[in-house]
Amino acid sequence: MWLLVVNPTSGRRKGSKLAQDLVSLLKSSNIGFNLINYPDLQQTKDSLQQAISTKQFDRVVAVGGDGLINLCLQYLAQSNISLAVVPAGTGNDFSRAVGFHGKTVPQIFEILNQQSPRKIDLGSVNGTNSSRWYVQVLSTGFDAKVNALANRITWLRGKSKYTIAMLLILSKFKALAYEIEIDGRTYSRKAMLLSVANGETYGGGMRICPGASNSDGVFDILVVSPVSKFVLLTIFPKVFSGKHILHSKVDVLHGSVLKISAPGSAYADGEYMTELPIEIINVKAALSTWVVV
């Protein structure tokens, strides 16, 4: 039994059209399904939680962007229900990570019918008063502020709105004092940003941590030391190719359990997570999904 969860407003209402295409394929194949298709976020949350509690479904197909994927994670992590995506959002970074980006609805439908799902890792974020899951990249510092502003920009899509948000935040931002613990090793340092990657990309294909894997049990942790605004401006465009990691002020560390303390917020999968301080744990094989290689 399939459960379809749709964000009808994603991709300038592309989500609704793609969902209709998938529904047509399910009907013609006599496959049972339920549909959750509300523009209201709370309605979607309530309906998803209720549907999952019935234990009728062996898979959830999210038709939307990374925000909808992140919502589904909160109910599907460490369960026996598999999650698939029909990308219809602004960034679609999860679909890139699992090889679904650019595929048509019939192609995705064929994959879900012919291939078996596999397990990938997730990040568990534990704040003072909340615990949440993420699958791609968690950002703090400069990145988090850019993410917050980009979420408020509705007249642009994909990489463009992150570039605009970066330019607007850049003029005011100053390096933050971080206290970091990685697998028991403690660091105190100032940094412009600290990102914890379970996958390579965020913000619509920006390769913040090239080589990061969602199946190795380890995060790639990118730290940018204090630099001038001009230098940060020269580093940022290289994120699209991943060459920013070659800069002398950029470090890539690795670890499975982190504690991060600094002023500000944490964002992941493009969504607000919690205020710092936080603990992040790489949880092996926490999500069942389809991966096309």
Structure token digits, residue 64: 């939307």
**Radius of gyration over every alpha carbon of the chain, rounded to an integer in angstroms:** 19
β-sheet bridge partners, residue 177: 190
In the prediction, which pLDDT does 147 show? 85
Domain total of the chain: 2
Residues 176 and 237 in one domain: yes
Are 177 and 252 members of one domain?
Answer: yes
Residue-level pLDDT at 149: 86
Instruction: Return the pLDDT at 54.
Output: 94
The answer to whether the CB of 259 falls within 8 A of the CB of 196 is: no
- Res. 138: pLDDT tops 90: yes
**3-class DSSP assignment, residue 99:** coil
Q: Is residue 166 part of a domain?
A: yes
The helix/strand/coil state of 153 is coil
- Quick one: pLDDT at residue 162? 74
Highest mean pLDDT, choosing among 107-121, 139-153, 169-183: 107-121
Range of the domain at 140: 126-284
CATH code for the domain in which residue 190 is found: 2.60.200.40
| Under 8 Å between Cβ of 59 and 2 | yes
- Domain boundary among the residues 116, 148, 171 is at 116
Contact 85, 62 (CB under 8 A): yes
Shared-domain flag, residues 142 and 268: yes
> How far is residue 199 from each of residues 12, 31, 72, measured CA to CA in Å?
26, 32, 17
Instruction: Report yes or no: 78 and 56 within 8 Å, Cβ to Cβ.
Output: no
pTM of the model: 0.93
* CB atoms near residue 12 (< 10 Å): 10
Q: Which neighbouring-strand residues pair with 176?
A: 191
On whether both 191 and 235 belong to a single domain, the answer is yes
Q: Which pLDDT value is given to residue 166? A: 81
Residue among 46, 84, 89 nearest 66 (CA): 89
**CB-CB contact of 88 with 14 (8 Å):** yes
Rounded to a whole number, what is the distance in angstroms from the first to the last CA of the chain?
26
Residue 281: pLDDT over 70: yes
Instruction: Say if residue 112 is in the same domain as residue 149.
Output: no
Among 92, 116, 140, the domain-final residue is 116
**122 with 133: CB under 8 angstroms?**
yes
Percent of the chain with pLDDT over 90: 78
Please, are residues 73 and 133 in contact by the beta-carbon 8 Å criterion?
A: yes
- Mean pLDDT value of segment 190-211: 94
The pLDDT assigned to 203 comes to 86
